[in-house]
Amino acid sequence: MSAPDFDRALVMPTFLAETDEGLHAMEESLVRLESAPADDETLNVIFRAVHTLKGNAAALGLAAPADFSHGLEDLLDRLRGGVLTATPDLISLLLECVDTLRVMVPESVAGRDTLRAANHKLLARLSASAEGQALGLRSEPAAAAEALGTVAARTLRVDVSKLDRMLNLSGEISIARGRLSALIETRKASPAREAALDALRELNELFVDLQQEITGIRMVPVGPTFRPFLRTVRDAAAVYAKQARLVLEGEEVEVDTSVIELIRDPLTHLIRNALDHGIEPPETRRALGKPALGHITLRARHDAGRIVIQLSDDGAGLNRERIVARARTLGWISDAARMSDADVYRLVFEPGFTTADAVTALSGRGIGMDVVRRNVEALRGTVDVESRAGVGATVTIRLPLTLAIIRGFLVGVADETFVIPLDTVSECIDHGPGDDARDEHSGIVQLRGEAVPFLRLRRAFELGGRPAGGRESIVVLRHGERRAGLAVDSLLGECEAVIKPLGALLTNLPGISSATILASGRVALILEPAVLLESAEARARAGVERVRGTS
Amino acid sequence: MSKSALYLIVRVEEQHIGLPVANVREIFEPLVTTRVPGAPPAFRGVVNLRGSVVPVLDLGAVLGLRQTPIAAARCVVLLEIVVDGERTSVGLACDAIDEVAVLSAEEGSAPSFGTRVPPQQLFGLAHSRGAHVLLLDVEQALANVGMRAASRVAAAIRSAERSAELD
């Protein structure tokens, strides 16, 4: 092949990027093909990717990838013609080819443009498969694959940090707007004031539109993040000698780009765990009357302003006895008989549950689960696990849709203002001057026949003083399956809080996640109600006597 | 060998303290402060400095010169420091600001005792206009007041991370 007469150096980066995209598309489609072996569109995607690669490589004078793709194309042609069937073995072989090309193309661009012995061996296996496989019966056509994007949209790649900056600026504008509005409203009634208020209203509408646009740009579907997990499951299943398939649901659900970036690692971890310790070996599954092929489902959906990501498997479930035994060894619990399953399962997320010992003793579900929880909580999310012995386990992660702004509920305590994330608030009730002691750390309030425990924020935060007139309000929060409240002096309404970090010196503040700036210019702290309520529970468990002794 | 550097000399409880100018970003008057429940006592709270939330510490309390932050500090020095590899801003409330001077902490000049500030938080001792100036190693001094140092949770997380890495 003669060297082409254009400047290769200029074309190579584009070629490499395009090849990378093509190989990704091919990989995804191959895994998809496994569950829908006769889907023509999926086959076409694979065929096109290889064909394009072959053509490009030949045009650039890269002999090795061109030859290799040629061999690959032969086999794909037979697959497309219905002569061959996409068996799992064949798909493994094709995935191996993808991996080979990933290494071969950059090498060949770098100047090492010859086929290695291993490559020849793989080509030989390809042609043996192309010739040798008996004519397989094509299975029924699967449901039509989703139409792949055919219309080229006008798009632009933008650095996420620029979007971050835009979002921050819009937050600053929101604060300044609040100040302006407060200034105008305190003026005496006059035509000028009315005109200013009119202009402000118009500004508000435009601003809300702008903010929605900015938040919207940052929203991306979870699909592209989820799809590589298909391969993760396939490869990991082989390593653990299990049979499993990953099913994706809700790929179109959108979430802020920064959230999805940060959730990828925890998900990888959970998926490996599900395969390693959830899904049983095929022979065990058969003996249990389950299909040998295990199913792992990764689904996303929106729920009450949050994104819910669920990973379910139909494996063995968590082993309560082993978890209890481990926790007892660690000295965390003495009597587990009274603990609910949910409380027991929650233990696997505790830091320190992870030890080399736990890996074997605990069907290993403890490996790095605390790290998963910490990552999720760092995103202001929650993680829960449900399990039924022999039926499977489900890990549910709930995350905010965006990390930069939250809908908050403002409350006043002493001379401070705090922000409670609105998505945790269930309702607010008035708690007039009653006969209970206002200095107590916590109490109980009756709500439609339900006894709801509440924590008095003034006492919990040691802010001193007493509420004016002895009147309090209780913000009722969803706390896991139950409800619990925070007693505050006053309710100050909803707000859009732009989240400001507290900095490296103030990390790990109990019950406080971050801060925001109010319209007045003052800083208000954003509460982490779950932590506050858990600490109240821990305090109750520890017993009043001990608390008095230590506080 | 002596190292000369620019220091901002501030006063707290009649003690002259030299803050490395390399860390100093600006000086501002005390702003409306929001208390931070659960923070160590040296924290006066957080303030809004042109849109950023900045923690403000009482320098006297940080150095153990007084038990509780005094209500009315006269000025706050904004420093930029690195805590656990993370660059962060912190305000130090002081009683007064004297001047900026080139001072040198001579090797071995830090007395092993006798100063009102623990010697490990000092670069050394210098003299300026007839007074002792304690040259403060701000990162060292502030490393011990942050929540990270105080938090057992953080220690647990770090150990979990280590064991996760070993996995």
Instruction: Tell me whether residues A507 and B154 touch, CB distance under 8 A.
Output: yes
Two structure tokens written together for A377: 């909580």
B88, B101 Cβ separation under 8 angstroms: no
3-state secondary structure of A234: helix
How big is the CA angle at A332 (ends A326 and A335), to the nearest 5 degrees? 85
d(CA A533, CA A486): 8
What's at A344, amino acid-wise? V
Q: What is the pLDDT of residue A114?
A: 83
A466-498: per-residue pLDDT in tens? 777 778 899 999 877 788 999 999 999 888 788
Q: How many residues does chain B have?
A: 167
Instruction: Tell me whether residues A525 and B34 touch, CB distance under 8 A.
Output: yes
- Contacting residues of A for B154, CB less than 8 Å apart: 507-508
Each residue's pLDDT expressed in tens, for chain A with a length of 551 residues? 444 456 677 778 788 888 888 888 888 888 888 777 777 888 888 888 888 888 888 888 888 888 888 888 888 888 877 777 788 788 888 888 888 898 888 888 888 888 888 888 888 888 887 776 543 333 333 333 333 344 455 677 778 788 878 877 887 787 778 778 888 888 888 999 999 999 988 988 888 888 778 878 888 889 988 988 998 898 888 888 889 999 999 998 888 888 888 888 889 888 988 888 889 999 999 999 999 999 999 999 987 667 899 999 999 888 888 888 888 887 777 777 777 887 888 888 877 775 444 443 333 444 477 778 888 877 778 888 888 888 999 999 988 777 667 789 999 998 899 999 888 899 998 887 665 556 678 888 888 888 899 999 988 888 887 777 778 899 999 877 788 999 999 999 888 788 888 877 887 788 888 899 887 778 999 998 888 888 888 777 776 444 444 44
d(CA A458, CA A443): 13
How big is the CA angle at A451 (ends A446 and A455), to the nearest 5 degrees? 90
Two structure tokens written together for A102: 């990933």
Q: Is the dihedral of CA A216, A220, A221, A222 positive or negative?
A: negative
A25-29, A539-543, B44-48, B97-101: range with lowest mean pLDDT: A539-543
Residue among B29, B61, B28, B27 at smallest CA distance from B44? B61
- Contacting residues of B for A502, CB less than 8 Å apart: 36, 46, 53, 55
B65 burial level (CB within 10 Å; 0-12, 13-18, 19+): middle
A229 vs A24, A270, A312, A520, CA distance in Å? Answer: 12, 11, 14, 47
Nearest to A462 among B37, B52, B84 (CB): B37
A521-540: per-residue pLDDT in tens? 789 999 988 888 888 887 77
d(CA A365, CA A383): 14
Two structure tokens written together for A282: 């095929």
- Contacting residues of A for B36, CB less than 8 Å apart: 502, 506, 509, 512, 525
DSSP collapsed to 3 states, A208-229: HHHHHHHHHHCEEECHHHHCHH
- Contacting residues of A for B142, CB less than 8 Å apart: 505
A246, A34 Cβ separation under 8 angstroms: no
CA distance A430 to chain B (A): 25
d(CA A60, CA A2): 9
DSSP collapsed to 3 states, A117-186: HHHHHHHHHHHHHHHHCCCCCCCCCCCCCCCCCCCCCCCCCCCHHHHHHHHHHHHHHHHHHHHHHHHHHC
Q: Is the dihedral of CA A346, A347, A350, A354 positive or negative?
A: negative
A169-221: per-residue pLDDT in tens? 887 787 778 778 888 888 888 999 999 999 988 988 888 888 778 878 888 88
- Contacting residues of A for B166, CB less than 8 Å apart: 356
State the complex-level ipTM.
Answer: 0.81
Give the best residue of A458, A517, A523 to mutate against chain B (max B CB count within 10 A). Answer: A523
d(CA A55, CA A58): 5
DSSP collapsed to 3 states, A14-83: HHHHHHHHHHHHHHHHHHHHHHCCCCHHHHHHHHHHHHHHHHHHHHCCCHHHHHHHHHHHHHHHHHHCCC
d(CA A397, CA A298): 11
What are the residues whose beta carbons fall under 8 Å from the beta carbon of A87, sequence distance 6 or more? Answer: A37, A133, A136
Two structure tokens written together for B106: 């001579």
Residue among A65, A44, A63 at smallest CA distance from A53? A65
**Chain A residues whose C-beta sits inside 8 Å of any chain B C-beta:** 172, 175, 351-352, 354-356, 359, 367-368, 370-371, 374, 416, 460-463, 500-512, 515, 517, 521-525
d(CA A477, CA A447): 12
A458, A412 Cβ separation under 8 angstroms: no
CA distance B98 to chain A (A): 27
DSSP collapsed to 3 states, A430-464: EECCCCCCCCCCEEEEEECCEEEEEEEHHHHCCCC
Q: Which residue has the tokens 């080139």?
A: B102
According to DSSP, the β-strands at A450-456 and A482-488 are parallel
**Residue B1 scores a pLDDT above 60:** no
Nearest to A354 among B47, B52, B163 (CB): B163
- Contacting residues of B for A330, CB less than 8 Å apart: none
Nearest to A524 among B34, B52, B86 (CB): B34
Question: Which residue of chain B has the CA closest to A368?
Answer: B164
Q: Which residue has the tokens 């587990």?
A: A336
Which stretch of DSSP H or E encloses residue B152? helix B152-166
Backbone angles phi, psi at B22, to 5 degrees: -60, -30
Q: With both helix axes pointing from N to C terminus, report the angle between A8-35 and A40-59 in degrees, rounded to the nearest 10.
A: 160
d(CA A268, CA A289): 29
- Contacting residues of A for B23, CB less than 8 Å apart: none
Instruction: Tell me whether residues A515 and B34 touch, CB distance under 8 A.
Output: yes
Summary count for chain A: helices (H), strands (E):
18, 17
Please give the DSSP secondary-structure letter assigned to residue A514. E
d(CA A515, CA A130): 63
d(CA B167, CA A400): 30
What's at B43, amino acid-wise? F
- Contacting residues of B for A535, CB less than 8 Å apart: none
Q: What is the pLDDT of residue A142?
A: 35
A214 vs A155, A162, A164, A350, A479, CA distance in Å? Answer: 16, 11, 9, 37, 32
A299-341: per-residue pLDDT in tens? 999 876 678 999 999 998 888 888 888 888 877 777 777 778 8
Nearest to B157 among A351, A502, A510 (CB): A351
Nearest to A368 among B43, B147, B167 (CB): B167
